[in-house]
Amino acid sequence: MFQSSSGINGSSSIFRPDELQLRNVKLKLLYKASIHGFTGAAFHQHCDNKSPTVSVGYNKSGYVFGGYTRRPFTQSGQFVNDCEAFLFSFSGRMLEKYPCFSASYAVKMINNCGPYFGEDLILLNGSQPVVHSNPGKYYNFNARQMHGNDLNLTECEVYQVEETVIMAKPWRLVIWETKTELMESIQFYKPLNNSVTQARVLLVGPVGVGKSSFFNSINSVFRGHVTSQAISGSSSTSLTTQFRTFSVKAGREGKPLPLVLCDTMGLEENVGAGPVIDDISNILKGHLPDRYQFNPSGPLQSEAHGFCKSPDLKDKIHCVTYVLDASKISIMSTKIEEKLKAIRRTVNLMGIPQLLLLTKIDEACALVREDIRNVYRSSYIKELMQEAAARVGVPLSCIIPVKNYSEELELDTNTDILLLSAVVQMIRFVDNFFDDISGQLSSLTTGK
C-alpha cells in the first residue's frame, strides 16, 4: 500500500505498481518534489521525453491520487492523445480509476506546471505545491473522494513504468535452506586477533535508509521473533542522534554474539546537519564512547569527557558498511553522494574493508516483493546494485541486497537468510582487516 509522505521535506512515500494493477513492471523514480523542487521547471527537467509514467500526489489529509499516461511529457503547450490515460485515487485499500472519456485531450504539455491531465487535474499548478481540480471536462471523478478537497501538496512523485525482466538463472548463488548453518557460523565466529572478542561493524548512510532497522532485523532473527530495540521509523531527519553500539544476543537469555553493530546519525544534505567527517574518523579510530551525542556544529574534542585517547584494537571499527535505500538510488542527491565519497576516502586511508547494504529491495521491485528468492533473478535489482556501485565507488561484489523487517509481526525464513548472509559477509571482511593487521605486524617484525 502507499505510505503517505511525512511532510514537505519527507521522503517516506513509496508507490507500488501492484496498487494500480500494473503487474510485472518496475517503477523508476524520476522526480520527487521534496528533493528536486515544487516547480514545473524541475518536473520537466527530470521527466520530459520519458514514458509511460505514473504521477502521484500526496496531501496532509492522507490522500494519494494522480494519473497514468503512455505519452512522454514535453513543453509543447499542446494536448496529446492517449486512449490509455487514467486518473486514480485510493480510499483505504480501495483503488478508484477514472479513464479519460476524450482521449484527444488526455494530457496537456505545459511548461510552468507539473503533470497536467486534461483540464481536470494538475499537480504543481503554476509551479506551486498545489493541485488544480476541476472534474467533468475530460475525466469524471468525485473531488472529495479523490483528495478530500485538500489541494495543498506535501509531495509529488513521477515514476517511469518499465517492464520487469526475470532472469532464467540467478546471477548470484544463494542456498535457501541454510538458515541454521548461517546462524551457527555467526554465533561461533572468533575474530582472528586474540585481543578482540567482538567484531565491530559501523553502519553509515543517509536518513531513513534502514540502518537501525537492520540491527533490529538481525536481532529479531536471533531472538526468534520481530523486535525493535534500536529506534527506527520514518522521518525527514535522523531518529538516531547518538553513536550507539548494539550487541546481538543468541536468544532472549543467550550470550552476546561476537558481533557489535555500531549505528550513526543519518547523513543529511544540509551543511551543519548530520555527523561531521571528524566524528566519523573518531568512531573509526575507537575514540567515541557509546551514546555519544552528535553535535553537527563540531566534532568531540580530545579533551572532552568520555573521549578515549588511547583506544585498543577492540574499540576500533573493523568493517564499514554503507546502507542505501534501493528505491531511492536514482534520486540520491549529489551532496549525499559527495559525503559518502568523503567518508569512503577516510576509511580507505585507514585500510578498513567496506561493504554496501541495499535495503528495501521489496519496495523497489515487485518480483522481489512477490518472492524474495527472486532477488538475484531480477534484472532491475542488478541494475540498482550497479548504480549503487558507481555512485559510492565500491565493487559490485561488495554490495548485498537485503529486506529489513518493518511491518511484519512474524519472521520469514528467506528474509532471514538474506539478512544472515549479509552478516556473514561482514565478518569475512572483518577477517580481511585482521589479516592485514597481522601482515603489517609481520613486516615490522621481519623488517621487510
**183 three-class SS:** helix
Torsion angle, CA of 66/68/73/79, rounded to 10 degrees? -90
* Average pLDDT estimate for 167-173: 92
* Average pLDDT estimate for 70-86: 95
Angle at 145 between CA 42 and CA 31, to 5 degrees: 15
Give the whole-angstrom CA distance, residue 216 versus residue 229: 6
**Three cell numbers written together for 349:** 586511508
- The number of CA neighbours under 13 Å toward the Cβ of 52 is 18
167 secondary structure, DSSP code: -
Highest mean pLDDT: which range of 21-35, 154-168, 180-194? 180-194
**Three cell numbers written together for 14:** 513509496
Say whether pLDDT at 233 is over 80: no
The DSSP line for 144-157 is HHHHTT--BEEEEE
- Predicted TM-score (pTM) of this structure: 0.75
pLDDT per position as a tens digit, 410-421: 999 999 999 999
Pairing of the two strands 242-249 and 153-163: unpaired
Residue corresponding to grid cell 517516506: 12
Say whether pLDDT at 18 is over 90: no
Please report the beta strands in 34-134, taking only residues with DSSP state E, as ranges in sequence order.
Answer: 53-59, 64-69, 79-80, 86-91, 94-99, 107-108, 116-117, 121-123, 131-133
Region of 221 (left: φ > 0; alpha: ψ -120 to 50; beta: rest) is alpha
Give the whole-angstrom CA distance, residue 364 versus residue 209: 13
pLDDT per position as a tens digit, 356-366: 999 999 988 88
Nearest to 243 by CA among 201, 291, 200, 282: 291
Nearest to 93 by CA among 147, 20, 158, 6: 20
Nearest to 39 by CA among 99, 95, 112: 112
CB 352 within 8 Å of CB 338: no
Give the whole-angstrom CA distance, residue 395 versus residue 397: 5
The domain ranges of the chain are 17-163, 179-446
**Three cell numbers written together for 322:** 554503507
pLDDT per position as a tens digit, 378-420: 988 999 999 999 999 999 999 999 999 988 889 999 999 999 9
CB 185 within 8 Å of CB 422: no
Give the whole-angstrom CA distance, residue 212 versus residue 215: 5
CB 288 within 8 Å of CB 282: yes
Angle at 323 between CA 217 and CA 437, to 5 degrees: 100
Beta pairing partners, 415: none
Say whether pLDDT at 73 is over 90: yes
Identify the CATH homologous superfamily for domain 179-446: P-loop containing nucleotide triphosphate hydrolases (3.40.50.300)
What angle, rounded to 10 degrees, do the helices at 334-350 and 379-392 form? 70
Query: Could you tell me the pLDDT band of residue 50, with boundaries at 50, 70 and 90?
Result: very high
User: Tell me, what's the pLDDT at 71?
Assistant: 96
Query: Could you tell me the pLDDT band of residue 236, with boundaries at 50, 70 and 90?
Result: very low
- Cα dist. 30→130, 225, 259, 323 in Å? 20, 37, 38, 21
Give the whole-angstrom CA distance, residue 86 versus residue 172: 39
